[in-house]
A and B are shown apart, each in its own frame.
Chain A
Amino acid sequence: QSALTQPASVSGSPGQSITISCTGTSSDVGGYDFVSWYQQHPGKAPKVLISEVSNRPSGVSSRFSGSKSGNTASLTISGLQAEDEADYYCSSFRSSSTLVVFGGGTKVTVL
């Protein structure tokens, strides 16, 4: 089964806002509000940023926000900071023989 589709890379200058898209189907992203976003720095384990499309767990900066429209979910990082340079992954519940599916990942570069 194919992964969710994310852009390979997104870049922005400090202080700017960037948006990462995550496109699936009606069997995953479009059909359920069970989309999560993760941040992963090199050599580290992923960290959850967003759950259920737009919920931020305690301790996650308010600069991170999530949304969804149809089969596409989005993660927006506002006020981009150097520490935001990392890989970002979306995931979704999928109603099939695979319970959870991840996106291919997006590398965020702070210029």
Chain B
Amino acid sequence: QVQLVQSGAEVKKPGASVKVSCKASGYTFTSQYMHWVRQAPGQGLEWMAMINPSNGDTFYAQKFQGRVTMTRDASTRAVYMELSSLRSDDAAVYYCASSITRYRQDYWGQGTLVTVSS
């Protein structure tokens, strides 16, 4: 079965960067797009970015362009999301989610809590 396991919680200072990993198993790594979706405390879901693991092509939400970078390592079946210039309003749970399509998220990781505090 598809499993997505994310790295642990992070505490960062404003202005720093955070890199969250997501390790996939249970399917052919290059057959599913990987998305990142975040959820601020008590708030809704917000789509951030997507990568095609087969060729590394990425698509970022306009809001995050210039601050977010998605990469993948097919040898370890891992996808990474790095968010730079962190602000207090970047504090959220960050989810990776995979799908065979570019516009849907079928399988979700457990979430990674990122705290931004001075």
B44 engages A3 (CB within 8 Å): yes
Report A59-111 residues with CB < 8 Å from chain B CB: 89, 91-93, 96-105
Question: A97 is contacted by which of B35, B44, B61, B102 (Cβ under 8 Å)?
Answer: B61
Inter-chain contacts of A57 with B (CB < 8 A): 106
Q: Using CB atoms, name the residue of chain B closest to A104.
A: B44
Which residues of chain B have a CB within 8 Å of any CB of chain A? 35, 37, 44-47, 50, 59, 61-63, 65, 95, 97, 101-106, 108-111
B61 engages A48 (CB within 8 Å): no
Inter-chain contacts of A48 with B (CB < 8 A): 104-106
B61 engages A103 (CB within 8 Å): no
A/B interface sample: 20 pairs, CB < 8 A: A1-B62, A34-B101, A36-B105, A46-B97, A46-B108, A48-B105, A89-B45, A91-B103, A91-B105, A92-B103, A96-B62, A97-B61, A98-B62, A100-B47, A100-B50, A100-B102, A100-B103, A102-B37, A102-B44, A102-B45
